[in-house]
């Protein structure tokens, strides 16, 4: 990656943000939204930027606390709102449009805050890499006129990690985030109990020093994805992991030999996505 190219893209991002004037950022504390927040603060000033985190059933409590820590570290105005995704019609049925229902609900919660507080635009951490995957949430953003400044500036995940490190953001090497619902196989109903099981299982595995982990749920099967480099480490603790995940409520525990892959559940939709 050419560092110069990343700087050029960041300059374009600053131009886009300048045109927006006053923005709200849907803030998850992940690599992308943290970088967007940092650049927005530098470009617009803290009086023109508000980060909002939606505390919902599918957002791990540990990540909620992380958003508070990050916002304080970069001196960003930050607000947490309560949101129930499971109350959104169509969401818990978990079809291929689940992310559409989620993002639509999120944006509908943020819009009144934008009007009340006098901000001009809603934004979220969409990046160029996201545009080639199954992303129903993008449709919701278009419908609600929510902007993705990073994608508009042609910024990739690699660009963000490079610049985040140079800007001193400790999220530069943070594993990719996704909501807990993304771990549950399409067509299988989402419940609070299943989300709890996933979160407990992943936190347990991370306790062995494995940063990137997904526990995918296929009914009674827990399919564990970690980076290939961490597979041997996971196998060292296979007895402990198997016992704990069975205690949590899974009947079968398996490791995916392909390893971690973002959006791997979308393979279930191949041939069904138009």
Enzyme catalytic residues: 179
Q: How many helices (H) and strands (E) does the chain have?
A: 10, 7
Q: Are 254 and 222 in contact (CB under 8 A)?
A: yes
Question: What angle (nearest 5°) sits at the alpha carbon of residue 134, between those of residues 11 and 138?
Answer: 50
* Gap between the Cα atoms of 198 and 206, Å rounded: 12
Whether 119 and 23 have beta carbons less than 8 Å apart is answered as yes
Burial (CB count <10 Å: 0-12, 13-18, 19+), residue 172? middle
Q: Is residue 111 classed exposed, middle or buried when 0-12, 13-18 and 19+ CB atoms within 10 A define those classes?
A: middle
- H helix or E strand, kind and range, residue 124: none
How far apart are alpha carbons 91 and 105 in whole angstroms?
A: 10
């Amino acid at each position: 990656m050419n560092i110069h190219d990343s700087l050029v893209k960041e300059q374009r991002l600053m131009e886009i943000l300048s045109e927006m004037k006053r923005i709200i950022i849907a803030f998850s504390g992940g690599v992308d939204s943290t970088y967007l927040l940092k650049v927005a603060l530098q470009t617009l000033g803290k009086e023109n930027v508000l980060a909002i985190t939606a505390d919902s059933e599918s957002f791990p409590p540990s990540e909620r606390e992380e958003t508070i820590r990050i916002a304080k570290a970069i001196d960003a105005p930050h607000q947490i709102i309560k949101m129930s995704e499971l109350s959104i019609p169509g969401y818990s049925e978990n079809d291929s449009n689940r992310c559409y229902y989620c993002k639509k609900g999120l944006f509908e919660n943020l819009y009144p805050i934008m009007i009340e507080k006098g901000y001009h635009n809603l934004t979220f951490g969409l990046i160029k890499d996201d545009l080639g995957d199954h992303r129903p949430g993008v449709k919701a953003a278009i419908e609600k006129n929510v902007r993705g400044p990073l994608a508009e500036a042609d910024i990739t995940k690699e660009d963000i990690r490079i610049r985040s490190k140079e800007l001193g953001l400790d999220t530069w090497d943070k594993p990719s985030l996704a909501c807990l619902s993304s771990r549950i196989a399409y067509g299988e109903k989402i419940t609070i109990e299943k989300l709890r099981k996933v979160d407990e299982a992943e936190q347990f595995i991370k306790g062995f020093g494995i940063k990137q982990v997904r526990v995918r749920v296929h009914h009674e099967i827990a399919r564990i994805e970690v980076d290939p480099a961490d597979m041997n480490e996971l196998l060292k603790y296979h007895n402990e992991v198997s016992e704990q995940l069975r205690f949590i409520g899974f009947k079968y525990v398996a490791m995916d030999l392909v390893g971690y892959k973002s959006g791997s559940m979308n393979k279930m939709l191949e041939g069904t996505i138009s």
